[in-house]
Chain A
Amino acid sequence: MSRYLAKVDVMPKDGISDPQGQTIERALPALGLQGISSVRVGKSISLQIDAADEGDARRRVSEVCSRLLANPVIESFHVVVLPL
């Protein structure tokens, strides 16, 4: 068993409107910032996991994501696993 650090990004699915992202985007011109588009707001979650290897860690974290951390109806997730 080794310990791994998992970084999970949970984002609104493609095609699903994101009022937070849109609000931020609308505020940018007021700062004098141009050329920024497609702002999306999600969540970043980090956790540590004891697993046999990196693949095992990634598989188990993905299960946690699909069962709890993300709602598959409206959100997608991306997992990065790093050895500690």
Chain B
Amino acid sequence: MTVRAAVVVFPGTNCERDCALVLERLGAGVELLWHTESDLHGADIVVLPGGFAHGDYLRTGAIARFSPVMDAVTTHARSGGLVIGICNGFQVLCEAGLLPGALRKNRGLSFLCRWIEVRVCNYGTPFTGRAEQGQTLRLPINHFEGGYYCDDSTLAELQENGQVTLRYEDNPNGSLEDIAGITNAAGNVLGLMPHPERACEALLGSEDGVVLLASMIDSALQAA
């Protein structure tokens, strides 16, 4: 069986081809899905890639949330289907209410484009099955609004449920509790600010992104 991944493209998305290339190399069948589509064409995995959906006008992800495809993404997520939102995709998932909290401007108001290390904090998610105990991942970040924020009760829930999946080793953006990536309570939706799809070739500086993306494909295969 081939895992099918739908990579959603909003106007202003710019990381969809990197995501598609990597997922294809990892064995998935990939379809780029324009945001006006109302159907996921049977995809097992939905990817919301990075970029500047709808120009990031008003707030990052605020307008993208109303794109027609998001109804199908929400239905897929609520029925347990795998969804990964990378960078701008994370922001869209928060705005859509599929993940709690919000992403704020970086502390220091600098656009950050560099390599960072994140620690895997939960090995039991569908996105971290290949991670080794205590493993850190070297991944690039590329964002202006990556400071994760939520209220105290939401943070307590995140920690209690093991939803904090990735933490920065050296917090670059003022993110609450060094949070770099979280899942929803059910664990099938992951949002993260770093770009795993840009860290899948040693030549480009790291292959650690494969840990997350190949784990996700493993999980989709097991679910099938």
Contact = CB atoms under 8 A, between A and B. Distances in A.
Interface string B89-128: 0000011000011101111110000000000000000000
Contact of B102 (A20, A23, A74): A74
B58 interface: yes
B58 A73 contact: no
Q: Chain B's interface: helix, strand, loop or mixed, by majority?
A: loop
B109 A68 contact: no
Interface in B31-85: 58-59, 62, 66
Contacts of B66: 68
B170 interface: no
A66 B102 CA distance: 15
Contacts of A76: none
Interface in A40-61: none
Interface string A67-79: 0110101100000
Contacts of B151: 73
Given A19-B107, A19-B108, A20-B109, A71 B59 contact: yes
Contacts of B106: 19
A74 B104 CA distance: 8
A16 B100 CA distance: 16
A73 B58 CA distance: 15
A73 B149 CA distance: 8
Contact of A73 (B101, B105, B174): B101
Nearest to A23: B109
Interface residues on B, range: 10 to 19
A16 B105 CA distance: 12
Given A68-B58, A68-B62, A69-B58, A74 B149 contact: yes
A73 B62 contact: no
Nearest to B94: A73
A34 to B, nearest CB: 24
A71 B102 contact: yes
A73 B109 contact: no
B156 to A, nearest CB: 15
Contacts of A69: 58
Contacts of A20: 105, 109
B105 A71 contact: no
Given A68-B58, A68-B62, A73 B107 contact: no
Interface of B: 58-59, 62, 66, 94-95, 100-102, 104-109, 149-151, 174
26 contacts: A16-B104, A16-B149, A17-B107, A17-B174, A19-B105, A19-B108, A19-B174, A20-B109, A23-B109, A68-B58, A68-B62, A68-B66, A69-B58, A71-B59, A71-B62, A71-B95, A71-B102, A73-B94, A73-B100, A73-B101, A73-B102, A73-B149, A73-B150, A73-B151, A74-B102, A74-B149
